[in-house]
């Protein structure tokens, strides 16, 4: 029994780790999104392919996720963080190596002598106070943090591509409306010139028709510039200057999901990659406190050698050539001008800063969802109102044209109705785009779209090889 006591003490020391243990924050007390009611359902947000149903948009997003330079950098950082974790984790285990040396030495007035060594070496820093374990814990948290940084970037990239795509659809629709209006006003101008020659209308009405035509033409160059700018931005996001970004359904055909389940705030905070990233950064900072605190205590190193020595290489493996060595080294910090204590203070303050940053990230997440829910609802209401205005403007233009054909209304009345219809149709295309833009922003705020994996596959991602 007494023989097992040293082993028991050794195991206890190996299991000891100074510094605070990190506890995952609870958010069950958060029940609403800063004034916006949370929906009771707990269903997960659909993947981005279910939200953005346009096949061409799906193709663009898929290309961006593969080729975008920032995504490639983020993926590289994950691989780097994983390697750093393996480096720190390896410090928990003994280092074992083998060496073969040969020497030839000659002293004055003596014959040369050969010596050969074949030895295995073992060195092990016993993690008595958990310095290496805390360092490994910090490295693992940093690895998870990089994963969440990648997820946050992916979430933003999906939203950016979708928003630029919808903006392109808006410009294309406005160009279509403008070109159609130009053709219509060219015909109206021809009629006005004929009526002017016949003395039916005055020169003022003809000039007004010319003004209306030119006012429609002047809108084309800015729209064409916007189209080129958006196309270039899409190519940049996709990471391919030769990508074919044009195509897909028209703006009016783009569909919206019937409902986006917001769930409850505690679920949102688990979904949002920026919140999870801040949490892992906090956890890593907490683990660094343990590393700094362990530096205040002694370090115990064990080392051993086993092998053989001989002056004749042929006798190197003989039994009488075998040698071994066991040793230990105890290092205790005594005087370093308060450096270790200062390092501990630095680690504690960084952990405190990380906790404040986490709290801020949570508040920002809740605020963003509240704001984007309001924005989404406002965009829906504006779209409905603008659609009603277009219907009324179409009816107004139809009646004005009928009255003009029957000689009851003047050409000025007709042009006024046409002008109102043109403005209403342009505004409706903007309202359509605003709806889709607000959808992308809300979906991003809800933390959706960065995953397409099942729960089991997501758990597998958490396993570091």
The secondary structure of 151-198, three-state, reads HHHHHHHHHHHHHHHHHHHHHHHHHHHHHHHHHHHHHHHHHHHHHHHC
**Number of continuous H segments (helices) and E segments (strands) in the chain:** 12, 4
95-126+298-332: CATH class: mainly beta
Q: What is the model's pLDDT at position 196?
A: 86
pTM value? 0.83
CA-nearest of 158, 179, 176 to 168 is 176
Rounded Cα–Cα distance for residues 134 and 137 (Å):
5
DSSP code, position 324: E
DSSP code, position 315: G
Q: Tell me the CA distances in angstroms from 349 to 335, 340, 344, 353, one per residue in order.
A: 23, 14, 9, 6
Ranges of each domain in the chain: 15-92+129-163+237-293+342-461, 95-126+298-332
- Which tokens is 23 given? 């506890």
Torsion-angle region of 397 (φ positive above 0: left; ψ -120 to 50: alpha; else: beta): alpha
Rounded Cα–Cα distance for residues 120 and 283 (Å):
39
Helix (H, G, I), strand (E, B) or coil at 105: strand
Spell out where 175-298 has E strands: none
15-92+129-163+237-293+342-461: CATH class: mainly alpha
Q: What is the model's pLDDT at position 260?
A: 65
CA-nearest of 95, 96, 85 to 137 is 85
Q: What is the model's pLDDT at position 28?
A: 42
Give the chain's length.
465
- Residue 193's Cβ-count burial label (10 Å; 0-12, 13-18, 19+) is middle
Task: Tokens 């897909």: give the residue.
Answer: 248
Cβ atoms of 286 and 20 within 8 Å: the answer is yes
Q: Which residues pair with 120 in a beta bridge?
A: 98, 306
Report CA dihedral (185, 191, 197, 203) to the nearest 10 degrees.
Answer: -30
Rounded Cα–Cα distance for residues 411 and 417 (Å):
10
Give per-10-residue mean pLDDT for the chain (465 aa).
47 68 72 44 60 94 95 96 94 91 76 82 92 95 95 94 97 96 92 86 87 94 97 96 93 81 70 93 97 93 89 74 88 87 96 96 92 92 96 95 85 89 95 95 80 45 45
- Which tokens is 411 given? 């050409």
């Amino acid at each position: 029994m007494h023989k097992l006591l040293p082993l028991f003490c050794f195991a206890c020391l190996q299991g000891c780790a100074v510094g605070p243990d990190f506890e995952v924050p609870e958010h069950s007390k958060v029940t609403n999104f800063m004034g916006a009611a949370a929906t009771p359902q707990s269903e997960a947000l659909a993947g981005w392919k279910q939200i953005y149903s346009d096949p061409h948009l799906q193709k663009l997003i898929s290309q961006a996720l593969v080729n975008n330079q920032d995504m490639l950098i983020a993926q590289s950082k994950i691989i780097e963080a994983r390697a750093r974790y393996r480096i720190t984790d390896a410090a928990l285990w003994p280092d074992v190596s083998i060496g073969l040396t040969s020497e030839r030495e000659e002293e004055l007035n003596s014959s040369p002598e050969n010596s050969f060594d074949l030895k295995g070496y073992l060195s092990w820093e016993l993690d008595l106070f958990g310095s290496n374990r805390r360092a490994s814990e910090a490295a693992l948290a940093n690895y998870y943090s990089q994963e969440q940084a990648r997820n946050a970037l992916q979430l933003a990239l999906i939203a950016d591509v979708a928003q630029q795509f919808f903006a392109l659809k808006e410009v294309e629709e406005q160009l279509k409306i403008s070109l159609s209006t130009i053709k219509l006003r060219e015909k109206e101008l021809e009629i006005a010139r004929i009526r002017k020659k016949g003395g039916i209308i005055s020169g003022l009405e003809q000039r007004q028709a010319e003004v209306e035509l030119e006012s429609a033409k002047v809108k084309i160059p800015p729209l064409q510039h916007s189209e080129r700018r958006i196309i270039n931005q899409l190519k940049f996001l996709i990471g391919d200057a030769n990508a074919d970004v044009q195509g897909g359904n028209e703006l009016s055909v783009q569909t919206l999901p019937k409902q986006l389940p917001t769930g409850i705030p505690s679920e949102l905070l688990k979904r949002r990659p920026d919140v999870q990233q801040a949490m892992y950064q906090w956890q890593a900072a907490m683990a660094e406190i343990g590393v700094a605190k362990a530096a205040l205590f002694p370090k115990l190193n064990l080392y051993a050698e086993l092998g053989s020595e001989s002056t004749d290489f042929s006798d190197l493996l003989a039994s009488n050539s075998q040698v071994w060595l066991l040793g230990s080294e105890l290092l205790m910090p005594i005087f370093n001008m308060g450096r270790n204590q200062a390092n501990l203070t630095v680690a504690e303050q960084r952990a405190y800063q990380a906790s404040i940053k986490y709290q801020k990230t949570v508040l920002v997440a809740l605020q963003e969802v509240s704001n984007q829910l309001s924005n989404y609802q406002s965009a829906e209401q504006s779209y409905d109102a603008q659609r009603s205005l277009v219907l009324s403007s179409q009816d107004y233009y139809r009646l004005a044209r009928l009255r003009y054909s029957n000689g009851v209304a003047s050409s000025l009345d007709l042009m006024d109705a046409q002008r109102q219809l043109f403005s209403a149709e342009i505004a409706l295309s903007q309202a359509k785009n605003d709806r889709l833009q607000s959808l992308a922003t809300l979906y991003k705020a809800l933390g959706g779209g960065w995953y397409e994996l099942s729960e089991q596959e997501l758990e597998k991602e958490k396993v570091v090889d």
